[in-house]
Structure 1
């Protein structure tokens, strides 16, 4: 990968484009679903729904206690097909038991909100069903990735997400909030059409030798994901407790587009994750990867921020309506923050994950959660939702720089 052209050729030869575009479609579907939901649901209902989604994202990050992340990394490093199958079955069975426990705990968290928000129990129940479906979907995606079936991965991802968007549009339009809940609950279970019955035969899984290492990575991976998603949920939850549902709705609208631009970096690196895992000790490969990544994403970030800043009022009015048009300043802050996020936190956090340094990611993510909470309690009383925006921005910049420093320390130790 001595130049950008070779870098892109390598990306395509690994069928990374299938993964990239399927993840791109997933983001588009999620964004479109959010826009449609904002348009159809009353502001108070959308604010309540946003709170539950924030809690759900925390538990979804702990999906199977990291079984899918372990499968993706250790499965990518395993060259023997039989060993990959045993690892897949072992992680599926063990991870599912953990997922059931997580779902029970998730439903129990509803008690903290039931006195303040209407219909919160119903929303939690449907998202609990979705949490189980999400486990099946994530496991199937990882299994396809480690076996080099990127086209099949793309097909599963596209069918689930496009169908899910259709369900949201249809059921929410006719049934309102209850229709939306039905749609999000059933959509991930579509992935089961790709799951073979033979996968439920668990013979030989006790022969897995490095279980301690696998689960250590998985627990730290899920812990990191938990802390990372908690970071993007803590701001919503803090606003919910310190202000009200309307404030949550305005904040969520200003955040929605800027937060979603990071899909470009995330999907790009997720497409390359198996290759990065295989080259975890190749200093030249990793150094060249960083240089070529910046050749692509620095111009992209400059373009996104310039266009978004110049047309911020038009974007807010067009996508969300006049009632959300006063969020232009917060929208601009988020645009800058998430462009920086693509250049630092997304890049180096994923690299640390690929080379197996999940403990570092966990520490950085936990520090970020503490920092955003402290900043939020200081700035929100003074500046409202803008204060929460500054708190998130300070935190993301801090974690990005910390991840970069830790990764370059790892890189220096390689020969």
Structure 2
């Protein structure tokens, strides 16, 4: 899975690089501005039922039960996603955007919601089946389709083609793999866990992801709003591309291990050994990454564009911030979800979001995109340490209740 994710991230990076070379910065900035609005909403697709599927599915014993749960999530999630797209369409027609063409791209990119939801539940089902090989294959195929689509459509249709490519990649991938997960769609057996608690977990997990996603997206939105410069939107998007792309490392570990440690969540020795091993590994990786960025940051960002060398400090600040996710948040955020406390992640992300908006309103006008980077770096560490403290306290209480 690690090699597949590396491959996937490399091709996603290539797709972004080709878009930068084929589309003028100003026009690309408008699409990126609209895309970040959709990225903010995307975790709510299916009302977070894909989150409930992976957590509650890991606690089920038989494949038949897991398949029944998948069908329930599939049907309900598609309905919710369709309503979400309709809501976006109506709302977008009412709102006045700062940049021309934003409305068109928000509506077009909203169609990414349904195929993205389908992909999430397909990957969740593969993880429940412990079919990591096919899970990795899904990641590879999606990234290949993305880079080919971006090159072809951006070359002929420029920014419109780029938006089409972003929608097309998850759509084609979900169609290719929906029939590869061995689900009998005629199965009508119901299970008793699809109650209010099941929906509540998914809802708060999705809100947590919305708030967490907005921690990254809000920088783009506020840069666009406060500086009123689409080129600065593009600059920040690409300066942050490499640091934020590195976040795949904790995600791939969680994608591989989430089902396993959820199944063993009451095994105190196993969980604490996992925490120690994970934190040691990612501390070493973090030191290496920051050192590399400090000494070779200039050369690294010239891979994107030589004009970005003016923002080497911004790049380094973001790399330091990402290590907070590496060491703390990636691990303890998922551990909170594994014990059924996804709402805690939402509380943490909401607190961070409020701090983000307030801080950026002061720092972006004063320091430009470096101010946005400082805010993001601080909050990545803040949310990571807070999730660690919260998990350790809740886990101790959970184990005491289990003993009783």
Q: What is the TM-score with the length of structure 2 in the denominator? A: 0.92
- Unaligned ranges ≥5, structure 2: none
* Residues 60-209 of structure 1 aligned to structure 2 (within 5 Å): 60-111=42-93, 115-190=97-172, 191-196=174-179, 199-201=184-186, 203-205=188-190, 207-209=191-193
Q: Distance in 1 between matches of 2:185 and 2:325?
A: 40
Q: Distance in 1 between matches of 2:163 and 2:187?
A: 34
Q: Distance in 2 between matches of 1:376 and 1:325?
A: 23
Deviations 1:279-304 (A, max 9, x none): 12221111101111122111111111
Deviations 1:133-160 (A, max 9, x none): 1121111111121122222222222222
Aligned residues of 1:110 and 1:120 also touching (Cα < 8 A): no
Q: CA deviation at 1:202?
A: 5.7
- Name the structure 2 match of 1:344: 328
Q: Distance in 2 between matches of 1:168 and 1:412?
A: 48
Q: Distance in 2 between matches of 1:199 and 1:100?
A: 23
Q: CA deviation at 1:170?
A: 1.9
- Name the structure 2 match of 1:8: none
Q: Distance in 2 between matches of 1:198 and 1:309?
A: 49
RMSD over aligned CA atoms reads 1.9
Q: CA deviation at 1:273?
A: 0.7
* Residues 182-261 of structure 1 aligned to structure 2 (within 5 Å): 182-190=164-172, 191-196=174-179, 199-201=184-186, 203-205=188-190, 207-243=191-227, 244-261=229-246
- Unaligned ranges ≥5, structure 1: 1-17
Q: Distance in 2 between matches of 1:63 and 1:210?
A: 18
Deviations 1:196-228 (A, max 9, x none): 3965436233x4344222111101110111110
Q: Distance in 2 between matches of 1:385 and 1:149?
A: 42
- Name the structure 2 match of 1:367: 351
Query: What secondary structure, in the 3-state scheme, does the structure 2 residue paired with 1:189 have?
Result: helix
Q: Distance in 1 between matches of 2:4 and 2:161?
A: 26
Q: CA, structure 1 residues 26+109, in 2 after alignment: closer, same or farther (shift >3 Å)?
A: farther
Q: CA deviation at 1:245?
A: 1.0
Q: Distance in 2 between matches of 1:114 and 1:249?
A: 21
Aligned residues of 1:224 and 1:365 also touching (Cα < 8 A): yes
Q: Distance in 1 between matches of 2:236 and 2:127?
A: 36
Q: Distance in 1 between matches of 2:239 and 2:280?
A: 29
Q: CA deviation at 1:112?
A: 7.3
Aligned residues of 1:113 and 1:120 also touching (Cα < 8 A): no
Deviations 1:250-269 (A, max 9, x none): 22222111111121111112
Aligned residues of 1:127 and 1:184 also touching (Cα < 8 A): yes
Aligned residues of 2:31 and 2:163 also touching (Cα < 8 A): no
Deviations 1:386-410 (A, max 9, x none): 1111121222221111101001112
Q: Distance in 1 between matches of 2:3 and 2:85?
A: 30
Q: Distance in 1 between matches of 2:75 and 2:116?
A: 15
Q: Distance in 2 between matches of 1:369 and 1:398?
A: 11
Q: Distance in 1 between matches of 2:232 and 2:365?
A: 13
- Name the structure 1 match of 2:283: 298
Q: CA deviation at 1:49?
A: 1.6
Q: Distance in 1 between matches of 2:225 and 2:259?
A: 41
